[in-house]
Structure 1
């Protein structure tokens, strides 16, 4: 079980994590939460309907990680618009789609990251020992979403667009300052892959 998820009888998944691994995942999830930010009605908790009917932003985020997490719905990097009119139409459709969907997407990503933090906070691994994290099927799906978001965030910081970019980073020398982030990217990828396998029928 060390380093990868295994299926639990009756559904769900389990993985053994040591103190350092718990700390790394928790720290990354907290950073992701800070980057995503609070909900639109975070300053008005007395009005539960405020967030439900709040409109989201119409412009894409400026931060490259958030751009990766919340991409434009009507942009196709492999197919340039045929005219200025088509480009303007795409921007208009993207803005409208973002206005009505981004708040929900952000809420879902916040919930996934919070689920990771809460489940890790319930673990207690001693020095040199591993604790076994056991996830119910719903929690497994939340973890899967959060692991995907964490990998996208790291990929954005490392400028990983395709497989060729990733292959170059795998061969970085140990003294390269990006090496720890690359190792985290690879490790989270292994966790994500094995978690996916536990959810398959």
Structure 2
């Protein structure tokens, strides 16, 4: 179980984590929460139906990592020409009615990581075994994906190279810790997928 997820009886997944791993995962999840931003809390006494139909932003985020997490719905990533007016209008309309819910879901997934890790207690060089229910495992999987997308964007990893040059970074490169986190999250994500689909 060290370093990767394994299936547990009754569904779900388990992983053994040491104190440093718990701290890194928790820190990354909190940073993701900060990046996504707080949700709009309904005003006390406000009409719940109005909150349900609240409109979100219509412009794509300027932060490249947020733009990766919340891409335009009608943009062809393979297109070399800029999006036409109809495509921009359609993307803006889609974003206006979906982004708030997407952000809320991503926040809930990141919070699931923090809450699960907060249940663990580790001292010294010991490890704690984290057990996730099937539902929480799916939340973790989505949050791990969001973390990798965010870090990959910051590292400028493209679909073409999958960050091949990152494997050869010298140890004194300031990106090295982020690369190590990116690769580790990839292992966690892969083993969690294997566990949930076995």
Provide, for residues 26-71 of structure 1, a one-character-per-residue CA deviation record: whole Å limited to 9, x for no partner: 001001111111112x262543625322101000001111000000
Q: Deviations 1:143-195 (Å, cap 9, x if unpaired)?
A: 00000000001001101112525110111011100000000000000000000
The yes-or-no answer on 1:136 pairing with 2:117 is no
Distance 1:182 1:46 in 2: 47
State how far apart, in whole Å, the 2-side matches of 1:163 and 1:129 are. Answer: 40
CA RMSD of aligned residues (A): 1.5
Structure 1 counterpart SS, 2:2: coil
- Call closer, same or farther: CA 1:48–1:27 in 2, change over 3 Å: farther
Q: What stretches of structure 1 of length at least 5 have no aligned partner? A: none
Residues 109-161 of structure 1 show CA distances to partners (whole Å, capped at 9, x for unaligned) of: 00000111000000011111110000000000000000000000100110111
Q: Distance in 2 between matches of 1:67 and 1:105?
A: 13
Provide the TM-score with structure 1 as the length reference. 0.93
CA distance in 2, matches of 1:146, 1:46: 32
2:28, 2:62 → 1: CA distance? 20
Unpaired runs of 5+ residues, structure 2, are none
2:112 counterpart of 1:115: yes
- Asked whether the 8 Å contact 1:11–1:137 carries over to 2, the reply is yes
Partner residue in 1 for 2:53: 53
Secondary structure of 1:164's counterpart equals coil
1:91 aligned to 2:88? Answer: yes
Aligned pair 1:65/2:47, yes or no? no
The CA distance in 2 between the partners of 1:48 and 1:131, in whole Å, is: 44
Distance 2:187 2:58 in 1: 35
Cα displacement (A) at 1:10: 1.4
The corresponding residue for 2:196 is 199
Report how many aligned residue pairs link the two structures.
197
Contact 2:42 2:51 (8 Å CA) reproduced: no
Check conservation: 2:59, 2:92, Cα contact below 8 A: yes
Q: 1:21-32, aligned counterparts within 5 Å?
A: 21-32=21-32
Secondary structure (helix, strand or coil) at the match of 2:62 reads: coil
Instruction: State the TM-score, normalizing by the size of structure 2.
Output: 0.95
